[in-house]
Chain A
Amino acid sequence: MASITLEKVSVSFPIYNAATRSIKNRLIQSATGGQIRADRGSNRIAVVQALQDIDLRLQSGDRVGLVGHNGAGKTTLLRVLAGIYEPNEGRVSIDGSIVPLFDISLGMDQESTGYENILLRGLYLGLTRAQIRARFDEIAEFTELGDFLNLPIRTYSSGMQMRLAFAVSTSVAPDILLIDEGIGAGDAAFIEKANARLKQFTERVSIIVLSSHSEALIKSMCQKAVLMQHGRLIGAGATQEVLDQYRALRAGNVG
């Protein structure tokens, strides 16, 4: 049984650049982004409060959409869930294997062949060489790239690279899948194929957390949603309710 529990989780980033001087000892609240404040006890380092007091409990079967304006903390929250950022305060406990799908073309080596990149991406996902070899044919077939797999991927179009990355990333189902933004994938025919595979793939995953600006995508994939603003969690519940709340919030900001 996969599960995710966050208790009073806060994350703040130290900013070590020169620009910090102008904002020292000042508290700035801007419309986008988290909160910028001077660090307590230090007048030199500015701190961006990216997440504040997040409580979240997810269980097997949950499909959760993350919504909020740019810089509301969605990506940071996903990184906390992935175990990349350990929070400054609060407790995180996660059961189950996690695969973060943030940047789908992460770490691809342009000079290496398609096959070598399948291997590389598989290793990123935590597979062993033997496991990847066993999946080679299936992945190669899905990409429909044929002989191109023997060429360095710098010769590929971006759609072709996307196919490759997508095929490897969806070849193993983890317990928990974290997705940042939508996965766009190539031409229309492939999108259909990709959607079918994504559906099959996500059915085997216990928990999905999806961050996206596309209401349609969130509605189609998630039965729950979470609304974030300035690093705080300001709404959670059924997808439609939260999306309505988000819309009202945006209307309020404009008017």
Chain B
Amino acid sequence: MKLLIGQILPYITVTLFTLGILYRLGRWAGARIVHNITLSPWLQTSGQVALRVGSEAFLFRNLFRFDKALWAGALLMHFALLNILVGHIVGFSFLGKQFALIPGLGITPELSKKMSDLLGSVFGIVLFVALLYLLYRRFAKDTVKFVTKPSDNLWLIYLLVLVGMGDIMRLVPDFHIEYVLVRDYIAALILFQPVVHMELLNSVFFLAHLLLVQILLIVFPFSKLMHFFGMFAERYIVNRVYHDTAPGLPNIEVATARKAGLGVPAGDAAGEGGVSCAGV
């Protein structure tokens, strides 16, 4: 079992994850953007497009504008998730000493390790709580309940269990796992030099956490979690640069027309004047 989950499955997972994502993105790319369905008001430059897509992707602009509670919950969840993903990579690679590597701050390796632990704990808890809120919302708010499918709730519960296991290893000293064990394990996997009896894989929590992550990655390309890519693909269609056709009518001389008194039955000359552009 340890061998299967810890040493064999990871290779299958990475393969399926990669192929699955390519399959799904390929399915999207196969269909074309036929008509121009850009949303107005128009964005005038690529910079504005980048700003719009960026503020939607990283600050959840629309959620902020139309549903503050969802914005808070979703932003906290995704922000904590991002930090935890980065934290896993950086923390294990540098054994928690990453902050000491930033020049000029004078952080000692010991302090860095403490910071790493603290950040991990905080984001772990924030992520768990935010996920709980999102799940609560699916049951508490009628409109959301109406659109929820069983899989939507299952994903939240799945993530809660997955994050919960991580939090237990993070917060309960008895189940704590040393960074170095994980680093050596990952390094062995990457270098295709598996060690058969790794101490790390004796931890039930670690094994379960690892298994859940791998199942998640395998299912990821076929699930709603693909909205990470979907969001950018959709925004690429609806947020584009657009320039209006220039106004201006051919062969028009308003002043001449008014002097000639066009439309005025008696044929009097028209007066001068006009209304300024009031602006908005």
Do the two chains bind?
Answer: no
Binding site for B on A (CB under 8 A): none
Binding site for A on B (CB under 8 A): none
